[in-house]
Structure 1
């Protein structure tokens, strides 16, 4: 009996019946260099894929999507264009050898994603798993995962190592005859693979048919079903120094374009990326040098470009730089590593950035589990004096609760115990997205509108003291939530809060300051507010870099003279929520040291959308609003900002009004007023890469001009 796993998979049986009837079919093969036919001469004619297609008959059209040096993580990225877009009837997937060198934390998820995407296609093909090992049927780690996945999804699979070993043990073959080196089978090896596959397909065709089963739940998660490939023109850094377009491309990857290459020791590039896993696809050989990369402020990871064993040929490697990230937008920094190859004149090159885990809302996991609200004792009320509140926070529906409307509103605390639960209520329609940071680990939390909810950590914390930051990400006009309080583990105690930061910055603005759309993958959208994150807008980022507390009073679509809704900033700037019926906020417990104003985009954009000019009295009304700010913040330094989007470039009245306001106030003896115009901007809402550049600019300006 052949050591073949041959399930009676209905799609495969249908394909084989079509072949027997003389009908044409399209066969696609997806894999690495063995699938390309490497070491067979000529490869495209004598490789196993070509030999199998020929043995199945003249009506078989072959699509060979083998690409040397790629594993299933790269295979997922090219699956659509190189396989699914060809509408194959039968797909054979081979990554057993290359996945052996793939990060163990990736190989199960990426290979499973290929299977799931094939099975979920509009016209699902028959799928066969080809489990190849190196000479002698070793190593088997990756193959065992792939065979288990084949069984899980009811797919036909060939364990070629076992098939071949059975022939060796009966004296029909020798491993040494099939390989001239340990990795790639020679011409005879390709013949044997084709023979084994043909036997497997025919055995499956003879197996009694069974009803098709629905696609089961995944074994390794779904991150690699949702990917993004940045390559060629889409691999565009938002900041670059020392790198230039170029480097060798993958000759077998259809349509592949040059990436970025450098011989400079100080070369650096930064990219906007998305997902819960970020990897760099980079070149490696005996002639390359090393790179290093990190995501956001994560650890630096070496990208091993210098691989002495790769003599005479170039390879590529999928190297994970960030994993278990929040499934949203991130910043990737890549630089040439200063090591023993510094100054060698050798190039370092990256070809692509591959992301996984750009998850739809239904698949976003949470570290919190929802519980039913109860009246049991032990709730630490939100107004407890040992809780530190930052930003403009109002009174909630209960005397002891706190309204968190404005994005950037923040609670800080220290506590003991291994458990934490948070109790919220909301009368607003929108979902409030929060960052719950515990001991530095970020845990996103979505609190629904018009509901009363309790959220408890799924997993217990370690023993000892813990720090908590609860920060509202969603802007106030989209969602409001009230925190009733928090519950700790039995015996847990609330401790004195973290110390206050030495500086406070207060920002007044529109959607730019609110961080609207700053994590959106494609076009601006407001259906899913999860990626709209006020904590990663330029003001919050600049405050964090300066070690300052952040106060954000920002509303999408708002202006001083024009608005996309029914609110103007003079109506709500001093209230606890962006509503005309909201209470006026009491005097700040801690007065801001610097007040920053960035308005004008909507004063221009809204009338321009109707073919109308900016209000003729924009300048005087702008000055009048700055005077209101000065009245509330008499001791603060005031910075009038321009930019982040296109209005100051398109409408001269905006910079004119800003500069005139500074001149007028300084002429009246107010020396604590400045203006600053951002160089960084975006035509649509800026993403976090533009916000990072704006924060760079603003941080320098504040240090050099305002805070000195």
Structure 2
């Protein structure tokens, strides 16, 4: 009998050493747990009854009575869905041996995904707390074609030193020898019949017994070939899949019958149904059913392109399929907003259902593995920079003089540089004497490249990949709030022969926001609880004020500090101490008048005036109202021609402390009674008990944009 078997050799990983140990234990009469992970072929589809006559059950029986089988096959799923269920359905069972089968279903998986997702399965298995032996089962359809996914999986098996069975070639060798026929194994092109399952089990049994006689040498886990995005995933399903806005969708739709504990997703028959969700990751996909009876959906992440989710698949007659549809890829590995809606097509008005079951994300990297588009290089005195104070650079927000001549201090969140240049290269030189890491958005031609500038450093950050030829537009925006990090931009470096051009046109409107952690965007991208250890997800550019300014096509000035108030603070700063300085420090220089001057000045304070004393069992300061009014007068003195908007909300203080809305109302009444008609107040409906995430900020921006258009800018 011909057998295609990839055996471990010297220099390969320790995985097959584990396989040999498992087989020796089995031969000695000890019990082992075998887990099989795959799609419908692993479930035993087309063998009756499947769970008893499929290849997994046949193999387990052939290995002896001491084998406990955990069959984690799920029809219609691929390796991208498998990484989401690996822990609960495989690793929690602490298997000794895992056989992975996705050669057929991964053929239909997005080619840009299948390498990363399958490799992630192998790496997570090999690095588990109790690593099992792993065998790769490479299956194809009848006739050993197509092989794209299977060949990729076999290459990964070789890379990690894993035993693998190339069943297509094993079977083709039998056919060539006149021992078998492909037609005997299949009644249709995709799923092997009962005879086919017997052949797969036979080939695997020979593979396992052959591996026990091979020689293996342990070496460290090799570097990944397809990145590590799918090692770090997040699954939103059931109660965790909750829209922050929804119209026309309701709980329901088909549940995967083989997925243990699966709960309904969201379904609709309305033509205009849409829903929005808070999601996380560098890749976002929707897991949904396919049927001849369903309608199509479409989805997008943030402001990305709309992607069709094929729910209507006419060839799926009489049974459901399941598909992993990527909606957003190569995203920042942080928080995003996912929008789904029914696709307007020929099925409009049909009353047919559309549904989706889960949202699956990948690329939630830990801090130490977060990728960067920039290469750090040392500063060089012999390489000239375009200085940060060059007249062709347009600065927006409160930016002060930097630590070195011709540099610019970027302390406050939202501080922005706008420029236009030619050439295929861009480098940014920064210096920081602060302790914290400053996170920036470097937006080039609409694409954002995150940049982290460590504190107490001086370096040049070169964009790793060359740009296209032609003219480019740059926006450099500070994301991290000023109390957490400061950095000075020393200048820009372009390609040889490139030119810095006149800046983009000025925006006609300027908004200045004064506030606390809500306005700063603190914790707005945190996946779980509020945290301050890693400030990358704290993105001031996605706070409600910055989003409102973006929607109005306005400049944004953000003067906000976490924990700050007018009468109380979680640290040593009160807003009256620092509101008019170039950085949130008492020793910082006074800020010169902004140019252009703000058209609208918005104030959102009070959360900490209530929250800090309340945390100690104390009441809000009895003089909060007059001190609040005094600070509003300070704002009016600096901005005599601006419209003033006094805001409340985003967190729970206005609901918990009646003194806050009273103080705001009294301030408005007092100023108007004294002839200041250019003052308004607004209380947000959207709020969160902890720091609001970007979904709440988006709703706040919806409210505020509407209010400004209808009441303030009319």
CA distance in 2, matches of 1:493, 1:94: 54
Quick one: which of 254, 260, 269 aligns to 2:275? Answer: 269
2:340 aligned with 1:339? no
The answer for the alignment partner of 2:224 in structure 1 is 218
SS class of match (1:206): coil
The answer for the alignment partner of 1:68 in structure 2 is 75
Superposition map of 1:180-219 within 5 A: 180-208=187-215, 210-219=216-225
The answer for the alignment partner of 2:13 in structure 1 is none
Check the 8 A contact 2:414/2:477 in 1, yes or no. yes
2:395 aligned with 1:394? no
Quick one: which of 58, 67, 71 aligns to 2:65? Answer: 58
Superposition map of 1:45-194 within 5 A: 45-194=52-201
CA distance in 2, matches of 1:364, 1:33: 35
1:212 Cα deviation after fit: 2.0
The answer for the alignment partner of 1:621 in structure 2 is 627
CA distance in 1, matches of 2:261, 2:99: 22
2:532 aligned with 1:526? yes
The answer for the alignment partner of 1:24 in structure 2 is 31
Check the 8 A contact 2:17/2:217 in 1, yes or no. yes
Quick one: which of 45, 55, 58 aligns to 1:38? Answer: 45
The answer for the alignment partner of 2:594 in structure 1 is 588
CA distance in 2, matches of 1:31, 1:482: 53
Quick one: which of 243, 249, 269 aligns to 1:243? Answer: 249
1:424 Cα deviation after fit: 0.8
CA distance in 1, matches of 2:610, 2:455: 32
CA distance in 1, matches of 2:210, 2:199: 16
SS class of match (2:357): strand
The answer for the alignment partner of 2:428 in structure 1 is 422
SS class of match (1:189): helix
In the TM superposition, structure 1's runs of 4+ consecutive aligned residues that sit over 6 Å from their partners are none
Check the 8 A contact 1:70/1:317 in 2, yes or no. yes
The answer for the alignment partner of 2:12 in structure 1 is none
SS class of match (2:234): strand
SS class of match (2:603): strand
Check the 8 A contact 1:516/1:556 in 2, yes or no. yes
1:377 Cα deviation after fit: 4.5
1:156 Cα deviation after fit: 0.5
Q: Which moved more, 1:173-182 or 1:7-16?
A: 7-16
CA distance in 2, matches of 1:459, 1:125: 39
SS class of match (1:486): strand
Quick one: which of 677, 681, 691 aligns to 2:697? Answer: 691
Check the 8 A contact 1:592/1:633 in 2, yes or no. yes
1:415 Cα deviation after fit: 1.1
CA distance in 1, matches of 2:594, 2:17: 70
Output one character per residue of 1:362-406: Cα deviation in whole Å (capped at 9) or x when no partner: 212211111111112431111111110000000111231110000
SS class of match (1:663): helix
Superposition map of 1:299-318 within 5 A: 299-318=305-324
Quick one: which of 654, 659, 678 aligns to 2:665? Answer: 659
Any gaps of 5 or more consecutive residues in structure 2?
A: 10-15
CA distance in 1, matches of 2:128, 2:547: 42
TM-score, normalised to structure 2, is 0.98
1:5 Cα deviation after fit: 1.4
Quick one: which of 440, 445, 462 aligns to 1:439? Answer: 445
The answer for the alignment partner of 1:4 in structure 2 is 5
CA distance in 2, matches of 1:21, 1:125: 18
The answer for the alignment partner of 1:471 in structure 2 is 477
Check the 8 A contact 1:6/1:200 in 2, yes or no. no
SS class of match (2:212): helix
1:51 Cα deviation after fit: 0.3
SS class of match (1:313): coil
The answer for the alignment partner of 1:500 in structure 2 is 506
1:590 Cα deviation after fit: 1.1
CA distance in 1, matches of 2:544, 2:385: 35
Q: Which moved more, 1:455-464 or 1:592-601?
A: 455-464
Check the 8 A contact 1:280/1:354 in 2, yes or no. yes
Output one character per residue of 1:469-526: Cα deviation in whole Å (capped at 9) or x when no partner: 1000000000000011111111111111011100000000000000000000000000
SS class of match (2:125): helix
CA distance in 2, matches of 1:612, 1:659: 23
CA distance in 1, matches of 2:424, 2:344: 42
Output one character per residue of 1:582-612: Cα deviation in whole Å (capped at 9) or x when no partner: 0110112211000000000000110011011
CA distance in 1, matches of 2:189, 2:466: 47
Aligned length: 707
Check the 8 A contact 2:288/2:322 in 1, yes or no. yes
Check the 8 A contact 2:3/2:203 in 1, yes or no. no
1:661 Cα deviation after fit: 0.4
Superposition map of 1:632-647 within 5 A: 632-647=638-653
Quick one: which of 506, 509, 518 aligns to 1:512? Answer: 518
CA distance in 2, matches of 1:100, 1:493: 47
The answer for the alignment partner of 1:570 in structure 2 is 576
The answer for the alignment partner of 1:409 in structure 2 is 415
CA distance in 2, matches of 1:96, 1:465: 45
CA distance in 1, matches of 2:218, 2:93: 23
Check the 8 A contact 1:506/1:592 in 2, yes or no. yes
CA distance in 2, matches of 1:365, 1:524: 23
